[in-house]
Amino acid sequence: MLGIDDPWIWGVYLLCILSALLCLIYGLINWNREGELEAVEIRETAAWEDSEEEMQEKELGL
């Protein structure tokens, strides 16, 4: 078949095609995830800054 008699060569071709499909599926699933993660990081940073300000106010108030 196509002049390739060795089953290992067929396996390599098959794995290359499957890995390309897996990468394509992964890319489609995670296409816009960065925006979601960025929003979460911004909220976490804001909460951390608020807690820092509260701690500083408590230190200065004592």
Predicted local confidence at residue 3, as pLDDT: 81
Q: 24 and 2, same structural domain?
A: yes
Domains in the chain: how many in total? 2
What is the torsional sign of CA 36, 37, 43, 46? Answer: negative
Q: 62 and 36, same structural domain?
A: yes
Q: What is the pLDDT of residues 26-57, one digit of tens each?
A: 999 888 777 667 778 888 888 899 888 888 88
Q: 12 and 1, same structural domain?
A: yes
Q: What is the pLDDT of residues 2-13, one digit of tens each?
A: 788 899 999 999
Minimal CA–CA distance to 48: which of 58, 37, 59, 40?
Answer: 40
Structure tokens at 42: 């911004």
Q: 40 and 59, same structural domain?
A: yes
Q: 62 and 48, same structural domain?
A: yes
Asked if 48 and 42 count as a contact pair (C-beta separation under 8 A), the reply is: no
Q: What is the domain extent for residue 11?
A: 1-31
Predicted local confidence at residue 8, as pLDDT: 94
Total-model pTM: 0.51
Q: 27 and 12, same structural domain?
A: yes
Asked if 4 and 10 count as a contact pair (C-beta separation under 8 A), the reply is: yes
The C-alpha atoms of residue 14 and residue 12 are separated, in whole angstroms, by 5
